[in-house]
Each structure stands twice: as structure tokens, then as C-alpha cells.
């Protein structure tokens, strides 16, 4: 084990959004009095939005600094060969006071060609939802480009979209090319590829305080759709206590649900960093030479060079992520 490594916390990067609210402050203790905080970027290597370390001897250094110093000790050997000094995941909390725009994301090939970026495969874990709150994921019928464009033109897009009412713990896998939107009243954790490429196709005819509508990207979006997708975006998972229950496994990340009620020893056999997102309760993560507390609304990065660590809690729910 590299003795300089320890469980790392980052300063949240808070984003004001036209649709944002107060739950990141009131429910997740994010330090902001701004009225419309829509997103908290917990771990980010997006250009101009790089996370800065909040704790320990490396406090004040950026995620980019960390990658340059520790390389494979941070990412794992196989990940470092693929990604080099680029962190592959972006972790967020999102609070939708109003409906988000209807959107989709391009795949790796399109994103690389058009934006010099990764694509944006992602997943959602619902942390809290108001009564009758919903998400839009996919279509409610077989779709063709022609039928989709007709509804877009007629402003009847909502007639063909699939609305799912949601509750805490509901989980969705959002592949590239799938239309989606977070509905009003939903607070969720999002795990995604490092990308900020979104194609907005409809924004509820909203205007900002200057009367301007937000930009739409329908010319780009039509090529990014995958109209052949199966209706398999709802994630079923076990909730066995004190073990990792796999939720989503794809080429970009694997996420498990971990409900801890007693101390558990973790041995890293995956040749990857691990990320823990606390969605309920609080826990202590201890390594050979350090310990770090994590509570609801916080995220911790365990570098790949840390081979064993202990997680202790009487009652905490964590999302556990690796690549």
C-alpha cells in the first residue's frame, strides 16, 4: 500500500439551475444559501470543474494533481492504461424542484467525434421523492424517427414518453441514446461517465428571467437516439445486509448497494479505485493509517492502492462504485 494514500473527500461543486431547489442544503447539508441549487458535483474531472481535496495531507490539491502524483495507485493498473491522467467517473447529487428538460446523451463514438469527450452512460438512485413525483425514461410505445419527429413538431412529445412514479431506493440505468428527464420533487444520486454533453430536445417552453428559452439541440439529438432499445431501464437489486448487492454492471462502472449494520472488512481485488456515496445514515471508513467519517450526502474516494479497509456503522446505506 502507498502510505501517502487515504480515503479522500472533495469539496462539492454546487451548480445553480433554473429548475433547482433547496433539498441539497436542507436534506444533504450542502453549504449554500442560494435559492436554486440543482446539482452538487461530488467527484469531477470535467474541464473547468475539477474537484479539490477537502481532507488530510493532500487538502487543497485537485483531482488532476492527484492523478499526476499517484497514477495507477489511484485508478488501478488496468484503468490507468485506458484512461491515463483522466478520471473516468462523474458523481453528482441532483435536486429537481421543477421538471428537468427532456434530453438524451450521445455514445462514445459520437461524443468523441463532435465534442472530444466521452459519451454519457449514467444511472440514478432515488434518495427522496415527493408524493406523485416521477421520472421520464424511454418511450411508452415502439418508436421510429418519423413518429418521434412528428410529435416533436406538434409539441405532443409528452404523449409518447414513459412516466414512472418513483420512491426512495428506485434505481434506473440510463444508457446513451435513451430519452429521459428527472421530474419535479425528486432528489437523486447520479453516477456517470466523465462527460457534460447533453442534448436537450424539449424544455417545457420555459423561459429565464430575461424571457429567453434555453437552447435546444434537436439537430444533434436525432442521430444520438437509439430507437431500438428494450424497456429494461428499471434496476432490480437485492438488499442483503453487510454485503455488496450488485445493481448495475456495464463497461463504464459497476455499482452495488451496501446496507451496513456491523463492521465489515473490504479487500480490494478489482484493480480499481472505489467510491462510496452515502445515501442514508453515517459510517466510518478505516484504513491502515487513516480513518474518515461519511454521512448522508457525502462521497468518499478510496484509491486503488489501498488494499484493505474497514467500514463500520450501526445503520448506513451506501452506493459502492468501481470501474
Residues belonging to the active site = 200
DSSP bridge pairs for 16? 37
Q: Which residues contact 202 (CB under 8 A, 6 or more apart)?
A: 101, 102, 152, 157, 216
Secondary structure in 3-state letters for 76-121 = CHHHHHHHCCCCCEEEEEEEECCCCCEEECCCHHHHHHHHCCCCCC
Q: What are the b/e assignments for 287-321, b being 16+ CB within 10 Å?
A: beebebebebbbbbbbbbbbeebebebeebbbbbb
Q: Give the residue carrying C-alpha cell 452495488.
A: 256
Q: Give the residue carrying C-alpha cell 430575461.
A: 210
Kindly state the DSSP code that residue 70 receives in the 8-state scheme: H
Amino acid at each position: 500500500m502507498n502510505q501517502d494514500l487515504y480515503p479522500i473527500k472533495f469539496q462539492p461543486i454546487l451548480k445553480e439551475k433554473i429548475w433547482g431547489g433547496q433539498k441539497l442544503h436542507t436534506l444533504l447539508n450542502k453549504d449554500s444559501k442560494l435559492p436554486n441549487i440543482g446539482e452538487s458535483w461530488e467527484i469531477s474531472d470535467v474541464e473547468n470543474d475539477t474537484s479539490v481535496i477537502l481532507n488530510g495531507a493532500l487538502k487543497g490539491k485537485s483531482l488532476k494533481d492527484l492523478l499526476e502524483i499517484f497514477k495507477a495507485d489511484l485508478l488501478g493498473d488496468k484503468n490507468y492504461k485506458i484512461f491515463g491522467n483522466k478520471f473516468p467517473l462523474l458523481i453528482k447529487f441532483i435536486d429537481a424542484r421543477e421538471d428537468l428538460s427532456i434530453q438524451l446523451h450521445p455514445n462514445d463514438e459520437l461524443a468523441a467525434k463532435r465534442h472530444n469527450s466521452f459519451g454519457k452512460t449514467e444511472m440514478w438512485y432515488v434518495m427522496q421523492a415527493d408524493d406523485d413525483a416521477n421520472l421520464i425514461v424511454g418511450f411508452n410505445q415502439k418508436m421510429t424517427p418519423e413518429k418521434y419527429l412528428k410529435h416533436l413538431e406538434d409539441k405532443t412529445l409528452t404523449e409518447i414518453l414513459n412516466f414512472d412514479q418513483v420512491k426512495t431506493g428506485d434505481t434506473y440505468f440510463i444508457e446513451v441514446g435513451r430519452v429521459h428527464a428527472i421530474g419535479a420533487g425528486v432528489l437523486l444520486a447520479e453516477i456517470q461517465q466523465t462527460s457534460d454533453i447533453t442534448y436537450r430536445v424539449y424544455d417545457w417552453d420555459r423561459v429565464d428571467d430575461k424571457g429567453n428559452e434555453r437552447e435546444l439541440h434537436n439537430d444533434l439529438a436525432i442521430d444520438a437516439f437509439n430507437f431500438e432499445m428494450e424497456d429494461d431501464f428499471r434496476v432490480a437489486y437485492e438488499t442483503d445486509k453487510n454485503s455488496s448487492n450488485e445493481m448495475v454492471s456495464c463497461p463504464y462502472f459497476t455499482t452495488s448497494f451496501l446496507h451496513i449494520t456491523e463492521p465489515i472488512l473490504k479487500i480490494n481485488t478489482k484493480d480499481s479505485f472505489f467510491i462510496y456515496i452515502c445515501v442514508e445514515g453515517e459510517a466510518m471508513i478505516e484504513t491502515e493509517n487513516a480513518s474518515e467519517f461519511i454521512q448522508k450526502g457525502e462521497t468518499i474516494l478510496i484509491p486503488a492502492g489501498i488494499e484493505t479497509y474497514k467500514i463500520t456503522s450501526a445503520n448506513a446505506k451506501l452506493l459502492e462504485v468501481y470501474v
